[in-house]
Structure 1
Amino acid sequence: MSGQTTSARLKGDLSLFSVILFGLAYISPGVVITMFGVIASTSGGAASTAFAVATVAMLLTGLSYAKMARAVPGSGSVYTYARKMLDSRIGFLSGWAMLLDYFFIPMVGWLITAIYFNAQFPDVPKWVWLIISVAITTGINVFGMKLADRVNKVLMLVAVGSLVLFATLCVVFLGRHGTSAPVGDAVWNSHTSVSAVTAAAAIAAYSFLGFDAVSTLGEEAEGGAKTVGRGIIGCVAAAGAIFIALSFVMQLVHPGGEFKDVDAAAYHLKVQVGGETYAEIINFVTIAGSIASCIALQASAARLMYVMGRDGVLPKPVFGKLSQKTGTPIIGLLLTAVAGVLAMKLDLTTATSFINFGAFLGFAVVNISVIAHLVRERKQGRHHNLFSYLVMPLAGTAVSVYLLTKLGDTALTIGAVWLVIGIVYLAFLTRGFRRPAPEMTFDDEAEEPAEETATATC
């Protein structure tokens, strides 16, 4: 990580277990409960199968991330891998697609928070709760990022505890009442089809977003790139196991894909297995955890825009400066807040599909980067296993592209427009593609004072 002194670097003392926990914390396994209604409805009542397909798809890409973590030691990302293995301009467009992810991820978080608020207080419209959620998290991020980080860590522990409690209550409920449909229907039934399951898997992939954050721990992990590679696979496998098991149990409690309110299905399931009092208490816990998640998501999106501005990828006078009073990237925070308000017109399915467009595109690029690495290595006389470095990345690319095509028309249209804007902007930055694209440095080197930059980091 250029620009950092040796004393500023963290010690490489994170164990494999710690690395996996880091990835799981970033993913937030409780998202499976929130997404259950959408996945069950889209798959025709086979949510666990959809999550299983998504897990296989993510494992293929996870293996490619692990290879790239070894090939490019240190902090990595889709942008870094594409820039080093393919081309600076492809790397730029990968970073541009990543920005689409980051920009809309807070919007989904706020929408989920508003859904839970509305389930708790149905007399208040969802759009009102959405605006309140956006205002709360934006205010905290503008004035208190360090406090937000501490709150996030505490609420993560609470969220894990509530997840275990919910799973236990589901099992107890099934022990007392059984299920109203054959157990096999939770995996495949007359309303299920390959098309429906893959469409649901394309949405379910949202639940895994964040596992690639493990690739940034190259310097902090004990054992370096080897531990990071194993951590990525372990994180995806652990998250997939949680998602498949819990969605299967939930599908037994509520067979089929019919819900009175798909977005609020999780709340009604909590009432079913634990009663109104439990549902209300846990709902408040979920709301608190959701707000904490939104704080982190918005901070990350704003920081990415700040880094891109600082490095000249976005207009520096607008994006590349921190507030002199608070040391935070206020422009980026306000832009994500404005985008969040757009969620008033969206449902959860459409909102998550925006995120997955950039994710699937990025996953495809990572897989292609592995193949490019193989070609480079062979030219230098170093040979790798063709199945591992060619066949599996090709499969990962094919799966990522296929899932991309299963997203809704709105997501594909917005994603395509976003890419066209990126290409036009890249042509401007590179004087008609004749120059290398500007490089983004995803660390805290900066022209600004060190304490300000650290404040802006989530």
Structure 2
Amino acid sequence: MSDTQTTAGATGDAGEERGLRRSLGFRDLVVYGLLFIAPMAPVGVFGTLDARSHGAVALVYVVATVAMAFTAFSYAQMVRVVPQAGSVFAYARAGLGSGAGFVAGWMAMLDYLLIPAVAYLFSGIAMNALVPDVSRWVWTALAVVVTTLLNLWGVRTAARVGFLVLAMEVVVLLVFVVSAVVVLARDGAQRGWLSPLTGDGSQGAFTLSAVIGAVSIAVLSYLGFDAIASFAEEVTGGAHKVARAVLLCLALAGVLFVAQTYLVALLEPVSSAELAADPVKQGSAFYDAVDSSVGGWLHNLVAVSKAIGAAFAALAGQAAAGRLLFAMSRDRR
């Protein structure tokens, strides 16, 4: 691994100490975290959440952010006590013993394997939809090769390229926000201005159980911010930077998710009751709302951003998996 060198760390067979080169700054950690989360993660699940929450989709993300804050705070505390690569593996091993660490490490490994696999596939499908002449498997393979080469090149190089991709995603999100605000100011909202927080009323009165049921799906949008803790041995300036990055990533993701779901809910011409009655519409609900209110050009822009963003979310997951395997193998687990 190009970023591995002899530093303070665990002891190997020959008695030497092995660790990781400290080359990441605070910004790099935030970039990795937001890449894995993806700034426009709600796009694919918006319709499902809108239907399940009776239209209170922005409130769903407010509650989900608060719920995930407990996990983020826990990671922030643990990374200060156990500033090692491996994240939950290192924490469980230090706090509960080697057996618990072994189980936690391999469970986390499933997370870091399956999420990138799905992200790569989504990237291929999305690009194929935009360029049908090229097979989705070609796009998927291209995404795997490019991101793997970047990770092999080195964590700093991957972080720099990731920053550019993240900036692109944020710009697209800002374009959406500005376009949505212009349309709302010009034409007004399709639903009540408070409906994304209180429900649209099409399925009856607002219920807390409907919101909580949707929250159980919405928390999937936050998967990945915990991966920042896997870089604890590669950050300069101490573990407190990792703790701050974990908390900041969650806060930024929460703001972005609430803002975009609030706006698209106001643009949504279909009621939550209609979405609930027709599950097929739920998957494309975000794009349908954008198409009907702003235009197809923004749909295509968001689709390209999501396709590229998914590949680089996989890059972050792949990097986190590498650190987890490094930590577990170093400890012979």
Hey, what does 1:9 align to over in structure 2?
A: 21
Aligned counterpart in structure 2 of residue 241 of structure 1, from 241, 255, 265 = 255
TM-score by length of 2: 0.77
Hey, what does 1:272 align to over in structure 2?
A: 292
Residue 19 (structure 1) shift: 4.3
User: Where does the alignment leave 5 or more consecutive residues of structure 2 unmatched?
Assistant: 1-8
User: Where does the alignment leave 5 or more consecutive residues of structure 1 unmatched?
Assistant: 313-437, 441-458
Hey, what does 2:173 align to over in structure 1?
A: 163
Deviations 1:306-351 (A, max 9, x none): 658x839xxxxxxxxxxxxxxxxxxxxxxxxxxxxxxxxxxxxxxx
Hey, what does 2:140 align to over in structure 1?
A: 134
Give the Cα separation in 2 of the matches to 1:279 and 1:8. Answer: 42
Q: Is the aligned partner of 1:65 residue 2:87?
A: no
Equivalent residues in 2 for 1:85-124, closer than 5 Å: 85-113=95-123, 116-117=126-127, 120=130
Give the Cα separation in 2 of the matches to 1:101 and 1:168. Answer: 35
Q: Are residues 29 and 178 of structure 1, via their aligned partners in 2, closer, same or farther at CA, if it must alter by over 3 Å?
A: same
Give the Cα separation in 1 of the matches to 2:118 and 2:195. Answer: 30
Q: Are residues 120 and 273 of structure 1, via their aligned partners in 2, closer, same or farther at CA, if it must alter by over 3 Å?
A: farther
Aligned counterpart in structure 1 of residue 244 of structure 2, from 217, 230, 241 = 230
Q: Which amino acid aligns with 2:214?
A: A
Q: Is the aligned partner of 1:34 residue 2:54?
A: no
Q: Which amino acid aligns with 2:25?
A: L
Give the Cα separation in 1 of the matches to 2:34 and 2:140. Answer: 25
Give the Cα separation in 2 of the matches to 1:219 and 1:311. Answer: 15
Give the Cα separation in 1 of the matches to 2:253 and 2:89. Answer: 24
Q: Are residues 114 and 10 of structure 1, via their aligned partners in 2, closer, same or farther at CA, if it must alter by over 3 Å?
A: closer
The answer to whether the 8 Å contact 2:172/2:302 transfers is yes
Equivalent residues in 2 for 1:183-262, closer than 5 Å: 183-189=193-199, 190=201, 191=203, 192-221=206-235, 223-254=237-268, 256-257=271-272, 258=275, 261-262=281-282
Give the Cα separation in 2 of the matches to 1:98 and 1:204. Answer: 20
Q: Is the aligned partner of 1:286 residue 2:306?
A: yes
Hey, what does 2:3 align to over in structure 1?
A: none
Residue 133 (structure 1) shift: 4.1
Deviations 1:257-281 (A, max 9, x none): 3275322233323323431233224
Aligned counterpart in structure 2 of residue 50 of structure 1, from 57, 60, 64 = 60
- Give identity over the alignment, percent: 30
Deviations 1:347-387 (A, max 9, x none): xxxxxxxxxxxxxxxxxxxxxxxxxxxxxxxxxxxxxxxxx
Greater relative contact order (Cα < 8 A, sep 6+):
2
Give the Cα separation in 2 of the matches to 1:305 and 1:18. Answer: 18
The answer to whether the 8 Å contact 1:140/1:295 transfers is no
Q: Are residues 153 and 103 of structure 1, via their aligned partners in 2, closer, same or farther at CA, if it must alter by over 3 Å?
A: same
The answer to whether the 8 Å contact 2:230/2:324 transfers is no
Residue 165 (structure 1) shift: 0.7
Give the Cα separation in 1 of the matches to 2:317 and 2:50. Answer: 26
Q: Which amino acid aligns with 1:234?
A: L
The answer to whether the 8 Å contact 2:126/2:303 transfers is yes
TM-score by length of 1: 0.58
Residue 162 (structure 1) shift: 0.7
Hey, what does 1:172 align to over in structure 2?
A: 182
Equivalent residues in 2 for 1:341-380, closer than 5 Å: none
Q: Are residues 439 and 250 of structure 1, via their aligned partners in 2, closer, same or farther at CA, if it must alter by over 3 Å?
A: farther
Give the Cα separation in 2 of the matches to 1:217 and 1:293. Answer: 16
The answer to whether the 8 Å contact 1:119/1:264 transfers is no
Residue 2 (structure 1) shift: 2.8
Give the Cα separation in 1 of the matches to 2:141 and 2:32. Answer: 28
Q: Are residues 145 and 23 of structure 1, via their aligned partners in 2, closer, same or farther at CA, if it must alter by over 3 Å?
A: closer
Residue 299 (structure 1) shift: 6.1
